[in-house]
Amino acid sequence: MNLKGVFLTVVLTLLLAGAPAALAQQTKQSFSREQLITAAREIISTTRYAALITLDSAGRPQARTVDPFPPEKNFIIWIGTNPRTRKVAAIRRNPHVSLYYFDHESQAYVTIRGTARLVNDAETKAKWFKDEWKAFYPDRARDFILIKVTPEQLEIVNVKSGILGDSVKWLPPTVHFGKARLRKLP
């Protein structure tokens, strides 16, 4: 499913879950950057898993469930995985990724578009490791690598909190983090 398909799925889910009344009452309320970032952190904290979306070798979007750490202060997000996965190969080819968090209970989602970088040094891997992962990565030096996602843009919708997008074009409130510098990865 491509990013538009994911967005349409969320919109349809919200509509079926009773969002029409909220959308009908939508006003041109604006939120500060800090309010949007705080709301995004709250949504992310209620959703344990996210979807990481990369592009495969043919340029088609591929989504898979990941167990990311909470965002750092600057909204960098770390994810652990096996270096032999398709997502690692995809990031080596094209570091542009999206992370998608969805909270059904609050009728809310956060999408983070950014640049991924693979990190394989022992000290950083020790910092970003969950004990519950030991069975998945018995040899941490060989079987474990980190994905560091540096955000470029964050989109958020939270129906229960009144954070809604433009009622005509359905564009969600957006936070821009600045342009990330792209580097060719090994």
**DSSP code string of the chain:** --HHHHHHHHHHHHHHTTHHHHHHT-------HHHHHHHHHHHHHH-S-EEEEEE-TTS-EEEEEE-PPPP-TT--EEEEE-TTSHHHHHHHH--EEEEEEEETTTTEEEEEEEEEEEE--HHHHHHT--GGGTTT-SSHHHH-EEEEEEEEEEEEEETTTTB---TTT-PPPEEE--PPPP----
pLDDT digits (tens, 9 = 90+) for 19-49: 444 443 444 468 999 999 999 999 999 998 9
pLDDT at 13 over 70: no
Statement: residue 98 has pLDDT above 70 = yes
pLDDT-based confidence at residue 18 (cuts at 50, 70, 90): very low
pTM score of the predicted model:
0.80
